Amino acid sequence: MMFGGAMAIFEGIAAVAEDDLFISTRNYVFEFSLAGWGWVHLILGIVLVFAGSAVLTGALWARFFGVLVAGLGALANFLWVPYYPLWALALVAVNIFVVWALCTGMHKEADDGRVT
């Protein structure tokens, strides 16, 4: 999660700086300015890094927060596909893996507390 957050931060910085790295597609349903998307990814990346740090503490609230934020990260990167397709799809996959990992960990943690 911290890796995905760091990559989102770099992505946001590049977009806010309006780098020539990104393409703009016409007639896309979600047309926002490149700088606007940059701020979204920058803020989301900072929150992802914070959530990843909180998950390392082992708190249960951090796992729920991590699932929420990683889900938002997957959605934001899915909407980012017209600007940088391969990178966006890679980060969607990373965020979905994070959601899966956090949910699987919660399931195992709940099973460990059972008394038989």
Cα–Cα distances (Å) from 44 to 27, 78, 91, 114, in that order, read 25, 14, 13, 36
**For 12-55, how does the pLDDT look when each residue is reduced to its tens digit (9 = 90+)?**
888 888 766 666 666 666 666 777 888 999 999 999 999 999 99
Average pLDDT score over residue span 49-64 = 91
**Does the pTM exceed 0.85?**
no
Q: Find out whether 22 and 34 touch, Cβ atoms under 8 Å.
A: yes
Distance CA 70, CA 63 (A): 10
Alpha helices, H only, the chain: 2-16, 34-56, 60-79, 85-112
Q: What is the pLDDT of residue 81?
A: 83
Cα angle 34, 98, 12; round to 5: 15
Assign 74 a pLDDT band (cuts: 50, 70, 90).
very high
